[in-house]
A = this chain, B = another copy of it.
Amino acid sequence: MITIAIDLMGSDLGYEELSKSVIQYLNEEKDRRVILFGDQEKIKPLFASIDSSRYEIVHCEDVIPMEIKPLDFLRSKKASLYKAIDAVRNGKADAILTAGSTGGFVTGCSMLLKNIEGVTRSGLCTPFPTAKEGKGTVILDVGASNVNQSEDIYGFARMGRIYCQNVLDMENPSTFVLSNGTEEGKGTDEIIGAYKLLKDNNFPNFQGNAEARNVLDGNHDLIVTGGFCGNIFLKATEGMASIMNGLIKQSFKRSLLTKIGYLFSHKGFDKMKEIMDYRRFGGAILLGVNGVAIKAHGNSNTYAFYMAIKVADQMVKSDIVNKIKKEFEHQDEKQAD
């Protein structure tokens, strides 16, 4: 039976919103269990409709702050996020899910779950919506590390491919390195080195560099890059999307005529909103640690958090952690030859 450890603290929207997602999940999937971390008094009444064998509440009072140093995390043993990750470490749960602090999530998973043997760096991986309806693009690392070597980025491609195949049903994902030009030899030393490793190892469906302006055109499945630039990319696109959405609203509000225009055309724009809705992808996944670890957006509503639970479920079901272990064992053997 799959058991998911769910940190209910630290989200922007609170217990009620997230609990609805958990209840929907438990009602739909009959052979699943959850362990819930947070304020027992608040959680208990929300789960009154659920059979008590299906869930356990671990009472926590402390919440990990948005910014936390590694040593401080290790001292926060009473915090919900610490305890939720620890449940995966000691085998009580198969996956950890939180909508709390990203920094705490990455630090905690790295320290408690540790990297899979052979993985030089874990990578935070996010699927992005693209210009093509229904088509996502997976990018990693979007911020687990600041500094990456070529080997790390090569590792991101190997883990990202397994994720794409097992969670997003991409059979043979086209794989690119994010750089400042498409030609071989473009970019920083790490990027050039990652390109070379992918090419020299005949990485399946490796298609060279991609430029940031083309990444989301719907023709790219998997993009790998260092964590600092990946984070800049993630937030730059978020920022621009938010500016454009604001301008669209302004455009419709400009005059009586444009307001009438809105009445006629809003259905088209609802569809656009749906295409660009990142929430259906369920948040970010930390690939490369010993356990399934998902970080939902801080402002996840019931739908978004439900999608994140589904991703966790799918990752456990498809045995991704062991598949990554196998991939990196295999590489070690090859290198030992």
Residues in chain B near residue A251, CB distance under 8 A: 265, 268-269, 271-272
How many residues on chain A are close to B (CB under 8 Å)? 65
Within A237-286, the residues touching B (CB, 8 Å) are: 237-248, 250-255, 257-269, 271-272, 275-276
Asked if residues A261 and B254 are in contact (CB atoms below 8 Å), the reply is: no
CA distance A263 to B262 in the complex (A): 10
Tell me whether A180 and B232 are in contact in the complex, defined as CB-CB below 8 angstroms, given that A240-B216, A241-B244 are known contacts. yes
CA distance A178 to B70 in the complex (A): 24
Asked if residues A180 and B143 are in contact (CB atoms below 8 Å), the reply is: yes
A189 interface residue, CB < 8 Å from B? yes
Asked if residues A272 and B243 are in contact (CB atoms below 8 Å), the reply is: no
A19 to chain B, nearest CB (A): 29
Asked if residues B236 and A215 are in contact (CB atoms below 8 Å), the reply is: yes
A211 interface residue, CB < 8 Å from B? yes
CA distance A251 to B247 in the complex (A): 15
Residue of B241, B263, B265 touching A252 (CB-CB under 8 A): B265
Within A20-46, the residues touching B (CB, 8 Å) are: none
A193 interface residue, CB < 8 Å from B? no
A59 to chain B, nearest CB (A): 31
Residue of B67, B130, B187, B239 touching A213 (CB-CB under 8 A): B239
Asked if residues A275 and B247 are in contact (CB atoms below 8 Å), the reply is: yes
Tell me whether A252 and B268 are in contact in the complex, defined as CB-CB below 8 angstroms, given that A143-B180, A240-B236, A243-B216 are known contacts. yes
Residues in chain B near residue A55, CB distance under 8 A: none
A167 interface residue, CB < 8 Å from B? no
A147 interface residue, CB < 8 Å from B? yes
CA distance A231 to B227 in the complex (A): 15
Asked if residues A272 and B250 are in contact (CB atoms below 8 Å), the reply is: yes
Could you name 13 residue pairs across A and B whose Cβ atoms are closer than 8 Å?
A143-B180, A212-B233, A213-B236, A228-B229, A236-B236, A241-B244, A244-B245, A248-B272, A252-B265, A252-B268, A254-B267, A254-B268, A258-B264
Interface pairs A-B: 6 shortest CB-CB: A261-B265, A261-B264, A251-B268, A212-B235, A213-B239, A258-B268
Q: A180-B227, A261-B265 are in contact. List 11 more A-B contacts (CB 8 A).
A: A130-B243, A187-B228, A212-B238, A213-B238, A214-B239, A237-B237, A237-B240, A252-B265, A254-B267, A257-B264, A262-B265
